[in-house]
Amino acid sequence: MSDSVSTTNKSERAIAVTASGDGEAYWFYGNLAVVRSPEGSLPIVIEMHLPAGSAAPLHYHESLEDNWYVISGLIAVKDGDETVVVRPGDYVATRPGIPQSHFVLDGPAILLQLHARADFLDFVRQFGTPARDRSARPSEPIDFARGSAIATSTGQPVIGPPMSEQEARAIAEKVAG
């Protein structure tokens, strides 16, 4: 089944549904990204599946507020000078222009990313590989230089390496302490 739109009366607003298991899917930096919002609807919702040890490089979003709701996993987050650990049920809203990174301490982590603009979705579509088989991670090496170039062209330039596990554990200890 794919995205479906149903109307009962032309004067009523149409309902758009992406059913469970549907939505365009991509392997994005080795992680599964599934577009959950039907084409043309806002906010844009991307369901991200991140294994333990997954980390985002230090980057910022030029004009996009990056919002995500954590469904599962434990994630250390750095946003500018602020650090937090987020858990299932937590909602994160990062600010445009502020360097950010994260590391999945306990996974798999599943997030729903919500965006008011298509900048990040454009990045996923341009850099990701369509996931015909959602259970088999691709074995090809990731072309980080190409990813960084596309990240910059779509408004989320990479400015540093991913958060390390050691840094993430230090954040978790500080938060717990």
Which pTM does this prediction carry? 0.87
| Bond into 138 cis (ω within 30) | no
Mean pLDDT of the chain: 90
Residue 129 pLDDT > 90? yes
Which amino acid appears at position 20 of this protein? Answer: S
Instruction: Give how far Cα 109 sits from Cα of 52, 81, 145, Å.
Output: 7, 23, 25
Q: Using pLDDT thresholds of 50, 70 and 90, give the confidence band for residue 136.
A: confident
Q: Residue 12 pairs with which residues in a beta bridge?
A: none
SS3 of residue 140 by DSSP: coil
Q: Which two tokens stand for residue 90?
A: 């937590």
Residue 13 pLDDT > 70? no
pLDDT score for 175: 81
Q: How many helices (H) and strands (E) does the chain have?
A: 3, 12
SS3 of residue 143 by DSSP: coil
Residue whose entry in the numeric block shows the structure tokens 């965006």: 115
For the stretch 21-60, pLDDT in tens is 888 999 999 999 999 998 888 899 999 999 999 999 999 9
Residue 2's φ and ψ, nearest 5 degrees, are -120, 180
What's the residue count for the chain? 177
pLDDT score for 176: 79
How many other C-beta atoms lie within 10 A of the C-beta of residue 53? 13
For the stretch 53-105, pLDDT in tens is 999 999 999 999 999 999 999 999 999 999 999 999 999 999 999 999 999 99
Helix axes 119-127, 144-153, angle to 10 degrees: 150
pLDDT score for 7: 44
What DSSP element (H or E) covers 76? strand 66-79
Domains (ranges, CATH) in the chain?
Answer: 19-132+151-176 (2.60.120.10)
pLDDT score for 107: 86
Residue 92's φ and ψ, nearest 5 degrees, are -120, 135
